[in-house]
Amino acid sequence: MKKIINNPNQVLQDMVDGLIAANPQRLKKIPETFVIARADAPVQGKVGLVSGGGSGHEPAHAGYIGKGMLDAAVCGEVFTSPTPDQVYEAIKAVDGGAGVFLVIKNYTGDVMNFEMAAELAEAEGIQVEKVIVNDDVAVEDSSFTTGRRGIAGTVFVHKIAGAMADKGASLEDVKAVAEKVVANVRSMGMALTPCTVPAAGNPSFELAEDEMEIGIGIHGEPGIDRGTIATADEIATTLTEKVLEDREFSGEVAVLVNGLGATPEMELYIMNKKVHDILADRGINVYKTFVGEYMTSLEMAGCSVTLLQLDDELKELLDAESTAPAFRM
């Protein structure tokens, strides 16, 4: 294992400290936790947004804290759900009196622990609502979850729900628009190489030099097909057509071509070209495109393609200002 770390069992603490050191005017760490919040949290009268999960997906989730996106992120150990008490501390830290909204990726541990934290907060008089993101079209169930996994489409939920909350919307309205995004976003990914969890010290799975895995999850969960590596156009076609088969897209969409940690932007832009060609052939207009690393898997080489069906409301919220350091418009 080659990694730029200190103690493999201390990576979360070191990472959080380094993140705060890089953004002292924007972010703060809630004492005795691995919760990172806006420096000005709680914002009175505004619905607070909390997301999070296991670390190793940076810049998700703490990179999306800021005006117009999240108010706090809960960092679990690498690929491990944060505990209910940590999520509870995040809810309390962002409660400005208008309620708190949770964005949860559909993994068994995340769903269970976030829901337990919500119950604790509600017992203290804090109103809490949630949405569960399940945008991955590859597999229905995996070793980490029941139902579809939540992957890069989660970033669109952060952005649009965060923009709605920033407008002063009610908790019910934030929930409604988040559910609208979940209903209209689909993703699928692939990998060329595995990744290594620092505390484990070994790759999470094996791929031969000439192999790729289609439909893999962001923790290395199995996909739908393993075969000989294909061209960028072939990979883009496989991922995009699978997404298009899952729901009807028309009119205008947002596109996210997401790197999983070790894929050069050159290759992501090559993928993006083919995605645009496919959508143009289908008569689908691309309103906005995002290319880069938004939801990674440590040092995994690979990518995912996400499509979000847009309407006027979602376009306005997608375009709204955000100060989150990792969200590139």
Catalytic residue from among 57, 61, 158, 276: 57
Catalytic residue from among 61, 158, 219, 276: 219
**What is the 8-class DSSP label of residue 175?**
H
CA distance 32 to 41: 17
Q: Is 158 a catalytic residue?
A: no
Q: How far apart are the first and last CA of the chain?
A: 35
SS3 117: helix
Q: Are strands 48-55 and 100-105 parallel, antiparallel or unpaired?
A: parallel
The pair of three-digit structure tokens given for residue 42, joined into one six-digit string: 């709680």
For the chain, what is the largest distance between any 2 Cα atoms, rounded to a whole number of angstroms? 56
Q: Is 61 a catalytic residue?
A: no
CA distance 50 to 33: 14
Residue 130 has φ and ψ, to the nearest 5°, of -150, 165
Cross-strand partners of 190? 214, 303
Question: Which of the residues are catalytic?
Answer: 57, 219
